[in-house]
Amino acid sequence: MDRPPADLTASAASLYRQYGDALKAGRRSAIAGFYHPQGALIVFNGVPRRQSRDELRQQYLTFWSPPDFFEWEGLTFDSISTSQVIVTGGFRWKSAGQPDTTRFIYAAVVAAVDSGMAIVFEHETVRPPQ
């Protein structure tokens, strides 16, 4: 095993730039690779589901539809231990055929894995109207 990244928050920010790029480009085969090798707890609109990386890979390859538009909004990265970073903020997502984007509240925990970072917990909730 490699050492954890020297700067956890910079490494987490780099992970999210790459993750966002993969979502924007619709690179289905790459997306599961941003999650921990042992999987992650995913909470979508309040519904929790623990998924293995293989389940995530299968979901993205089979059922997932790439967005017409995707953009992170105001992500912040805060170290919460010597190996974990909490990510908070939001994102905008436009599904194919929809007239406008939907805004989401986002939170995640990423953990050091070898010399990089991986998502172990992810929470996405549709932002209530203002």
Number of domains in the chain: 1
pLDDT at 130: 78
Inside any domain, residue 78: yes
Inside any domain, residue 72: yes
| CATH code of the domain containing 69 | 3.10.450.50
What integer is the mean pLDDT of 109-116? 90
Name residues whose C-beta falls within 8 Å of residue 67's C-beta, 6 or more positions apart in sequence.
23, 24, 26, 93, 94, 95, 96
Is the distance from CB of 123 to CB of 108 less than 8 angstroms?
A: yes
Inside any domain, residue 2: no
Name residues whose C-beta falls within 8 Å of residue 129's C-beta, 6 or more positions apart in sequence.
none
Summarised one tens digit per residue, pLDDT across range 51-91 is 999 999 999 999 999 999 999 999 999 999 999 999 999 99
Closest by Cα among 2, 35, 22 to 117 = 35
pLDDT at 125 over 60: yes
Quote the pTM value. Answer: 0.93
Inside any domain, residue 101: yes
